[in-house]
Chains A and B, each alone.
Chain A
């Protein structure tokens, strides 16, 4: 069974802390997505990557294809970063299916 595991499930941090959220998957993929869902429900795509590293503002996403692992880092965390972060993978270049992790709930305290 193709699974996507995220850790931790819940994370509380003080404002300014460096945060890491991890995602592991079981078989080879064509792309990995990091999504952000705020209270109130909207889902925003943060990154799509298939190798290496991407950076956008204070957010950095890395992926290690050999280890089947990705990390989402947030530098200088802020209360507005509080959200659920979801990892999703697409298996195979021709695949349309996204398999989702269960999400990591992040709370950043002032």
Chain B
């Protein structure tokens, strides 16, 4: 497997523009996470999907952020309109998680998308 694939790797955009980040999780994983990493706050969970269903989006900072997972092999994180304070590295990660815990896999991270909003 190629691992978790994110695109683009880098994105520079002007304030006010729409930004779409993409993620392809590892095949067979049932859980997908979007994280944001900044120097000030470290890694923060934005949203968690299980079996393509958003379970917890309490980390999504504002209504400007939205995420979808139309199928098991694709997810998007959209920011509209973007603002300079959204500049960060956005990571997608996938795992196989069960309620029993014993079959849980490690968290596999994508390479991240470095977003710069100017």
Report which A residues bind B (CB closer than 8 A).
Answer: 30-31, 33, 35, 41-45, 47-48, 86, 88, 90, 93-94, 96-98, 100, 102-103
Contact = CB atoms under 8 A, between A and B. Distances in A.
A65 to B, nearest CB: 14
B109 A43 contact: yes
A96 B58 CA distance: 13
Interface in B27-41: 31, 33
Contacts, number: 57
Given A30-B101, A94-B101, A96-B56, A45 B107 contact: yes
Nearest to A43: B109
B114 to A, nearest CB: 7
B12 interface: no
B107 A100 contact: no
Contact of B114 (A41, A96, A100): A41
Given A30-B101, A93-B99, A100 B109 contact: no
Interface in B51-90: 55-56, 89
A45 B108 contact: yes
Determine the interface band of chain B, counting residues with CB < 8 A from chain A: 20 to 34
Nearest to B9: A41
B87 to A, nearest CB: 14
Nearest to B102: A93
A15 B42 CA distance: 28
Contacts of A88: 43, 107
B106 A43 contact: no
Given A41-B112, A42-B112, A86-B43, 7 more contacts: A31-B104, A35-B107, A43-B93, A45-B106, A48-B106, A98-B33, A100-B42
A94 B99 contact: yes
Contacts of A48: 104-107
A35 B100 CA distance: 23
5 contacts: A35-B107, A41-B89, A41-B114, A48-B104, A98-B107
Nearest to B91: A43
